[in-house]
Structure 1
Amino acid sequence: MNVTATNNLQQANQHSLMAALAPVRQALQRQARLAQGKPDKEQEEEYFSPRNGLSPHGALEKLCTTFGLSDFERDVLLLCVGMELDASWASLCAIAQGVQERVYPTFSLALTILPNPEWSALTPNAPLRRWRLLEVGSGNALTTAPLRIDEQILHYIAGVQHLDERLMGIVEPVAAVNILVPSHHQLAQRLAQTWVEASQEAVLPIICLCGDDVASMQAIALKACELLEMNLNAIFASSIPTGINELNNLMRLWEREAILSNSVLLLEWDGTDAGEGLRESAIATMVERIRSPLVIISRDRRKQRQRPLIAIEVPKATPNEQRAIWQAALGDAAISLNGHVETLVSHFTLSATTIYAACAEAKGKLATQAEAESPIHNQLWDTCRIQARSRLNDLAQPIIPGASWDELVLPETQRQVLRDIAAHVRQRAKVYESWGFAGKGGRGLGISALFAGASGTGKTMAAEVIAGELRLDLYRIDLSSVISKYIGETEKNLRRVFDAAEAGGAILLFDEADALFGKRSEVKDSHDRHANIEVSYLLQRMESYRGLAILTTNLKGSLDQAFLRRIRFIVQFSFPDANQRAEIWQRIFPSKTPTQGLEARKLAQLNVAGGNIRNIALNAAFIAADAGEPVGMKHVLQAAKSEYVKLERPLTDTEVKGWV
């Protein structure tokens, strides 16, 4: 709507409002004259003549129709409107009521001067108070208490519409999104049609959009609202109050706002963490009792006690749809990528909004540097990794890969298995999609590995090497911290991790698998049964995960063989022998580190794993740096003594023989 049309509507609304106020003012003036003993010879009907010329499309008339106000209730509201718009209204109220201090409208005044008075108009369940159109101030009696129009209602009647300031920070408009893939556009049409068909029901059903792609589900809800010429506002679950009075006030304010602005409420709700029972209960109460249109975004279908709920599954955009989005977002640059778009589509599962953002960011970076330094496909890959990792950072510990194949000291057999793992991840799209292996069934398409070996034998380093070669993010998840004593919480924790990782195919490193994968014992009670369910759930998610999931354990023998058969790769990290330890010592110090007289063969006499060797080398470097000397055997000896104290082991003469 252009500015001229808007101004014309505002002027028409103002004219209609002034015309509606005129007879109320006349009635107030008449009562003031009577209170002063000035007889009024004119008939009352003249003051409440028919409201000719009032626009049925004005804000006041729309308000009255929407909330079902009677003529008397409308005039009570106008009595309070005049108080805010006319400076002389206060003195007229005081004179009309015969009390100098009563410079405000009261229900007693309304009953006296307005036609067709209704005592029921000011009851709590009547529209004026139920919808908070009026505020009743404190007073000795209800009839003489001050009446004041709610500020938001005053603005609405005056033709100024905006979100109620009491809802700001709790509710906010959902930003417009112009990108919606065809399959999601169909879901938006389905959602809109569902609302149309349910509009005649006594209670509107809740719409629950279920899936992992929050941005796309928001876009679907927004498109459905646009099709019905409605607005969409989102509420933050963390902002919903837990106190019953505050909750009731929020619901009433929003229900009124939804009616006035023709709005739908969007709630992203996946349940709260254990220990937040009060908030979970408050959200459930609001969802059950609120009567305005409501859309819930959730990974899973929510269960309701009474209010009907319609669940709509929202799958992620198909590979073809993602490919089309990439090509549209890249424009002419897509031609020069030589198949890299296919790699992006196969590895990252991003929403349309995120894809456009990634392309814009990559193009922006390229504009400030030479293309030869960093080709656009590298920029896109790195940008996608950044876009995809945001949710995972809150759930797992990121590990920045710093190791290379040259630093990894392992027998060739184990090194080859690690190379095979990297090849499976790298060629996943070609084998599963182009060569058709995905059509053989969804189970087992995930790439899983078990790294078994004592602490410090290189399990984490091997994961770093693979992540570095594939240019993938690596995240560590401590399974011992994921396991919960509450039934169902362990699966919920694991689901959050996998769902967050799906978008970018990060490598997931699950430490301490022994905590969950112990040998399956006879099921004696519900706890044993649930422990097996937790293990099965983790294996199921690993098998269907688009990326690489690695389990680590110090005790492979304690794991159940039935579970091990479902792992694709198993790599045994043995304790390094003397030759391997010597090789580790030869590579452990960076090339920039000054050294003098270090003998790898003698250092290899220390009977420790690679992780301990790294600790000793690092400590020796600090000791030498503090002494202002190159790293030598004496510094390593001092560091070794410190490491052995930590290991609670004696440092034998055999291990340090011939050092100094």
Structure 2
Amino acid sequence: MDWATWNRQFLESHLRQVRQCLERAEPSPPSPLAHLHLHLTTAQYVLQTALHGAPALERLGLIFGLTPFEVAVLVLGAGMELEATWSPLCAQAQGDPQRNYPTPALALKCLPQPHWSAFTPAAPLRYWQLIHLGNGSTLSTSSLRLDEQILHYLLGLNYLDTPLMHLVQPVATAHPLAPSHQDLAQHLQKLWQTNPRQSLIICGADRATRRDLVHQACHPQGYELWQAPAAVFAAPPKEMAPLLHRWQRQAQLTPAVLLIEGDALGEKEQMLGQYVQNNPTPIILSTPDRPAWPGNTLLILEAQALTLAEQRQLWQELWGQKLPPRTIDSLVWQFQLNRSQITHISQTVMGDQTITPEALPPKLWSACRRQSRTTLSDLAQRLNTQASWDDLVLPAAQLHILKELMAQVRQRATVYETWGMGGKTGRGLGLSVLFAGPSGTGKTLAADVLAHELGLDLYRIDLSAVVSKYIGETEKNLRRVFDAAEMSGAVLLFDEADALFGKRSEVKDSHDRYANIEVGYLLQRMEAYRGLAILTTNLKDALDAAFLRRIRYIVRFPFPDASQRAEIWRRSFPAQTPTQGLDYLKLAQLGVAGGNIRNIALNAAFLAADHGEPLQMRHLLLAARSEYIKLEKPLTDAEVRGWV
């Protein structure tokens, strides 16, 4: 017989046995094993169990350590739900027509091997909520009802408990793992073979990779994998405790593993750690960083991102000869993608039959850029990069350095790997640049141009959100910025970075000591960051000397001279802007930087449009006066002589 038939007949045999007890209103004499009611020999029973597994009733007894009496109580509750004739039997056995339902007193009177301890709150029946007792005048006369999920479990129907449905989601499928991650999954599998209740922390790599790794370890053990975001555990402990207790029961019935995922656990970190440490069923806490709560006794497994070789091999497996090695190298060195992302990008691009071989590399680059785009809306702002070299007016020496930077980003794969200049450790390969100069001289615009020409996202870091007065929080925020940016190799712009990267002070108190730790951590991360990190400052002398030594390039943005200002004015008006009588040499008399020039040009254009006229010198004069008021500077006659 199949398992469903085997399970049904096994339950029916126990229902008949308990029914006989109710009909006699007393325990049956010591009876043979339940399987003999199926007309099976002991050998046949063992064989049937070996072929199809133990029936659900036996599994419950083994899982929760139930005594024969407690198993009989479950059968009593099941019979009441499944057979309408049990109500009068209960009333007759208790000698009370009104008491036509099971009670602890009835169970103690009629079922074999009774013991009162079965109904204490600490005993399995009530602790695991296998039964529920209603309100009665006494405990012994309270109604006894089988839990709904347990009833269905006895019938062979195993499903997620209803109170948990809004908390956890099944992880049904997983992507294949890279060799390094397969080794880690096998290690986790061996841990569960030794200790099926092993809980632990998995960190590093990315969320999808950590999830795939755990899923692959679960499958050979027969575990189902369920996922819950760490945010669901933010409720007060009194609210969460009953739900967590239900999960513990669920995990033993299925069996199952719970994967709690969180990118920034914050204050919940220690509370989650305590829950995981004290839980009797396997739970995996998935987080990018190693937890730092005190007293942690959990095992920590650290998953690394795909190596460059593993990423390259995957691209080659998916594309074969269709993708030039040079293109693969550029993608691998720029974007830190996991297996599922590379597979998804490849399948999407391959599905577009209109792409020519020449258009394939830029199409893949754009797809990788979108796929790896970071989510740092609370700490950074992604800027829309549209500027080109034509929008940037700088001396030739500064332009030459900026183009050197582009070459370093584009040729990293060739120089560091093919030519072996990256060394064996791979440390210190980050490209950090300092843009120093007065406000408005084009520092942010230059970052815009570099990101646009490189085809990368540009993120301006919000220092007011990063720097925290609380000890250790600035370091955590910086870690989030760099970890997220590593995936895409985005260009990071720390605008007006003086506040964060100032000279390290002498240690006078604990605040100074932690401030220095933050600077040291920043230096370390910038040195290891694979992308381009740009710092801007108006006061280069305010930066720490040790910090400047680790900067690869320092680009000084000078205040523009008259010829440069004339060129900035000339490039401030697009071809479609209607102008009349503009004199760029006279406009260059105005002693302001490029940022102010663009403000004046834009404000003047609004004035001209409002008057329904082409943009003229008089509109620029009005806009210049407004800009100088903002700058709290006097507008001299020499600067505007001959404008109107």
Q: Tell me the distance in 2 between the aligned counterparts of 1:628 and 1:148.
A: 84
**Aligned to 1:497, what secondary structure does the other structure show?**
helix
Preserved contact between residue 83 and residue 104 of structure 1 (Cα < 8 Å):
yes
Aligned partner (choices 531, 544, 547) of residue 515 of structure 2: 531
Q: Which stretch of structure 1 is more off in the superposition, 55-64 or 560-569?
A: 55-64
Aligned partner (choices 319, 328, 335) of residue 341 of structure 1: 328
Preserved contact between residue 444 and residue 543 of structure 1 (Cα < 8 Å):
yes
Q: Tell me the distance in 1 between the aligned counterparts of 2:451 and 2:163.
A: 49
Structure 1 residue 310 and structure 2 residue 299: aligned? yes
**Structure 2 counterpart of 1:323:** 312
1:45-70 Cα shifts (integer Å, max 9, x gaps): 37966422466521111111111111
Preserved contact between residue 199 and residue 281 of structure 2 (Cα < 8 Å):
no
Aligned partner (choices 133, 140, 144) of residue 136 of structure 1: 133
Preserved contact between residue 22 and residue 90 of structure 2 (Cα < 8 Å):
yes
**Structure 1 counterpart of 2:345:** 358
What does 1:170-185 correspond to in 2, within 5 Å? 170-185=167-182
% identity of equivalent residues: 53
What does 1:432-511 correspond to in 2, within 5 Å? 432-439=416-423, 441-511=425-495
1:484-528 Cα shifts (integer Å, max 9, x gaps): 111111111001110111111100001221102222332211211
State how many pairs are aligned: 630
Structure 1 residue 417 and structure 2 residue 404: aligned? no
Preserved contact between residue 129 and residue 135 of structure 1 (Cα < 8 Å):
yes
Q: Tell me the distance in 1 between the aligned counterparts of 2:101 and 2:559.
A: 88
1:77-118 Cα shifts (integer Å, max 9, x gaps): 111112222233334434443444444322122112212211
Instruction: List runs of 5+ in structure 1 lacking aligned partners.
Output: 32-42
What does 1:262-411 correspond to in 2, within 5 Å? 262-269=255-262, 272-273=265-266, 277=267, 279-302=268-291, 308-330=297-319, 332=320, 334-337=321-324, 339-364=326-351, 366-367=352-353, 369-371=354-356, 375-393=359-377, 395-411=379-395
Amino acid at match of 1:282: M
**Structure 2 counterpart of 1:40:** none
Could you say if the C-alpha distance between residues 140 and 654 of structure 1 is closer, same or farther in structure 2, counting changes exceeding 3 Å?
Answer: farther
Preserved contact between residue 27 and residue 111 of structure 2 (Cα < 8 Å):
no
Could you say if the C-alpha distance between residues 227 and 605 of structure 1 is closer, same or farther in structure 2, counting changes exceeding 3 Å?
Answer: same
Structure 1 residue 657 and structure 2 residue 641: aligned? yes
Amino acid at match of 1:319: L
**Structure 2 counterpart of 1:39:** none
Could you say if the C-alpha distance between residues 594 and 99 of structure 1 is closer, same or farther in structure 2, counting changes exceeding 3 Å?
Answer: farther
1:390-428 Cα shifts (integer Å, max 9, x gaps): 434554210111111011001111111111111111111
Aligned partner (choices 22, 26, 43) of residue 20 of structure 2: 26
Amino acid at match of 2:336: T
**Structure 2 counterpart of 1:17:** 11
Aligned partner (choices 186, 189, 207) of residue 192 of structure 1: 189
Q: Tell me the distance in 2 between the aligned counterparts of 1:644 and 1:609.
A: 12
Preserved contact between residue 191 and residue 198 of structure 2 (Cα < 8 Å):
no
Aligned partner (choices 498, 513, 520) of residue 514 of structure 1: 498
Structure 1 residue 65 and structure 2 residue 65: aligned? no
Preserved contact between residue 205 and residue 307 of structure 1 (Cα < 8 Å):
no
Q: Which stretch of structure 1 is more off in the superposition, 511-520 or 264-273?
A: 264-273
Q: Tell me the distance in 2 between the aligned counterparts of 1:255 and 1:349.
A: 37
1:560-595 Cα shifts (integer Å, max 9, x gaps): 222211101011112222221111110011222222
**Structure 1 counterpart of 2:117:** 120
Q: Tell me the distance in 1 between the aligned counterparts of 2:59 and 2:546.
A: 69
Preserved contact between residue 251 and residue 286 of structure 1 (Cα < 8 Å):
no
1:192-216 Cα shifts (integer Å, max 9, x gaps): 11222345xxxx5532223132222
Amino acid at match of 2:334: H
What does 1:142-291 correspond to in 2, within 5 Å? 142-199=139-196, 204-269=197-262, 272-273=265-266, 277=267, 279-291=268-280
Amino acid at match of 1:420: E
Amino acid at match of 1:454: P
Preserved contact between residue 340 and residue 377 of structure 1 (Cα < 8 Å):
yes
1:215-273 Cα shifts (integer Å, max 9, x gaps): 22222211111222222222211001442333321332111111111212222245534
Q: Tell me the distance in 1 between the aligned counterparts of 2:355 and 2:574.
A: 31
TM-score between the two structures when normalised by the length of structure 2? 0.92
What does 1:18-97 correspond to in 2, within 5 Å? 18-31=12-25, 45=28, 50-51=33-34, 52-53=36-37, 57-97=54-94
Preserved contact between residue 450 and residue 567 of structure 1 (Cα < 8 Å):
yes
Q: Which stretch of structure 1 is more off in the superposition, 570-579 or 310-319?
A: 310-319
Preserved contact between residue 379 and residue 466 of structure 2 (Cα < 8 Å):
no
Instruction: List runs of 5+ in structure 2 lacking aligned partners.
Output: 39-44
Q: Tell me the distance in 1 between the aligned counterparts of 2:630 and 2:223.
A: 66
Q: Which stretch of structure 1 is more off in the superposition, 138-147 or 582-591?
A: 138-147
Query: What is the deviation of 1:538?
Result: 0.9
TM-score between the two structures when normalised by the length of structure 1? 0.90
Could you say if the C-alpha distance between residues 154 and 648 of structure 1 is closer, same or farther in structure 2, counting changes exceeding 3 Å?
Answer: farther
Preserved contact between residue 212 and residue 499 of structure 1 (Cα < 8 Å):
no
Could you say if the C-alpha distance between residues 44 and 283 of structure 1 is closer, same or farther in structure 2, counting changes exceeding 3 Å?
Answer: closer
- Cα RMSD over matched residues? 2.3
Could you say if the C-alpha distance between residues 104 and 441 of structure 1 is closer, same or farther in structure 2, counting changes exceeding 3 Å?
Answer: same
Q: Tell me the distance in 1 between the aligned counterparts of 2:575 and 2:16.
A: 91
**Structure 1 counterpart of 2:41:** none
Query: What is the deviation of 1:186?
Result: 1.2
1:531-571 Cα shifts (integer Å, max 9, x gaps): 11111111111111111001111111111222211101011
Preserved contact between residue 209 and residue 314 of structure 1 (Cα < 8 Å):
yes
1:357-385 Cα shifts (integer Å, max 9, x gaps): 11122223x23x4537x722222111111
Q: Tell me the distance in 2 between the aligned counterparts of 1:618 and 1:53.
A: 93
Preserved contact between residue 441 and residue 558 of structure 2 (Cα < 8 Å):
yes
Amino acid at match of 1:659: W
Structure 1 residue 549 and structure 2 residue 533: aligned? yes
Could you say if the C-alpha distance between residues 621 and 100 of structure 1 is closer, same or farther in structure 2, counting changes exceeding 3 Å?
Answer: farther
Amino acid at match of 1:125: A
Q: Tell me the distance in 2 between the aligned counterparts of 1:307 and 1:444.
A: 33
Q: Which stretch of structure 1 is more off in the superposition, 454-463 or 474-483?
A: 474-483
Q: Tell me the distance in 2 between the aligned counterparts of 1:544 and 1:44.
A: 75
Preserved contact between residue 206 and residue 308 of structure 1 (Cα < 8 Å):
no
1:319-342 Cα shifts (integer Å, max 9, x gaps): 221112112233x5x424353112
**Structure 1 counterpart of 2:590:** 606
Q: Tell me the distance in 1 between the aligned counterparts of 2:381 and 2:578.
A: 33
Q: Tell me the distance in 2 between the aligned counterparts of 1:319 and 1:48.
A: 68
